[in-house]
Structure 1
Amino acid sequence: MANELQVWTMIGVFVAIMSSVLGLLSAAFLRVLRAEIGSLSSVVSSQGTSLRAEMGTLATDLRAEMGTLATDLRAEMGTLATDLRAEMGTLATDLRADMSTLTAEIKAEIRVLDNKVDLLDRDVQAIARQVFPDRD
């Protein structure tokens, strides 16, 4: 029976040692896990900060590029508007010149027709005098 007590004592000591080791390992594992999660959190935070900074830089560059393109577009549109106004002015001048030429030609034709009508009127009056001599 004395032997039996020593065996049970050894089993109790072994269980106590194993429980202590398990507790120590669990505590150590939790500390390591917390430390790794903390460092991972700081890495993610710093990456997020650098990502925000890079996005801000890209947004600034994009705004600058869009401003440049808008300025170039306004300049090009101004040039095109000036060219269009000049072309329209040229076309209006050409149209006025053509209309003046046509007006002069029409006036000349009207004068010719007026002369022909006057001659026709003179001829009709001469015929009327011969056909109706007593009317004057």
Structure 2
Amino acid sequence: MRLNDPQVWTLLGIFAAVMLGGMTLMTTQLSRVIRVEVDRIDATLSARIDGLDTALSARIDGLDTALSTRIDGLDTALSTRIDGLDARLGRIESKVDDLDKELTNLVMRFWRSQ
């Protein structure tokens, strides 16, 4: 069976249409598969990042609590020491005032006696 020109061109056209249709179908399917895989990876990464964010937030909150507790303890200890120093300085000041009065009395006695 011999094919004439119009039949050859028709077969070439059908072959080209089938090839283009197949490539279009394969490209569409590949695009869908890639989109699904990217979405799956995105969901996995989002879940992991959320988990890390939760764990990191919990650790930071724990550190914040521990540091606040230590700072409050240091503040209390420092306040206690400062109060103790204030009391000691108050006693020293009163003793110095008493010594000053006694010295003033001694000087007044000494200078009056001459």
Match for residue 81 of structure 1 among 64, 67, 82? 64
Match for residue 99 of structure 1 among 82, 95, 102? 82
Distance 2:47 2:97 in 1: 73
The residue aligned with 2:42 is 59
Is the deviation greater in 121-130 or in 73-82? 121-130
Matched, 1:71 2:54: yes
Matched, 1:42 2:33: no
Distance 1:129 1:53 in 2: 110
With the length of structure 1 as denominator, give the TM-score of the two structures. Answer: 0.75
Matched, 1:130 2:113: yes
Distance 1:38 1:118 in 2: 115
C-alpha RMSD of matched pairs (Å): 1.7
With the length of structure 2 as denominator, give the TM-score of the two structures. Answer: 0.87
The count of corresponding residues between Structure 1 and Structure 2 is 113
**Residues 41-78 of structure 1 deviation map (CA, whole Å, 9 limit, x = unaligned):** 11111111111111111121122112112111210110
What is the letter of the counterpart of residue 77 of structure 2? D
Match for residue 109 of structure 1 among 82, 92, 99? 92
> How far is the alpha carbon of 1:84 from its aligned partner?
1.2
Distance 2:105 2:16 in 1: 128
Percent identity reads 19
User: Looking at CA atoms only, which structure, 1 or 2, has the larger radius of gyration?
Assistant: 1
* Structure 2 unaligned blocks of 5 or more: none
Higher RCO (C-alpha 8 Å, min separation 6) = 1
The residue aligned with 1:33 is 16
What is the letter of the counterpart of residue 61 of structure 1? T
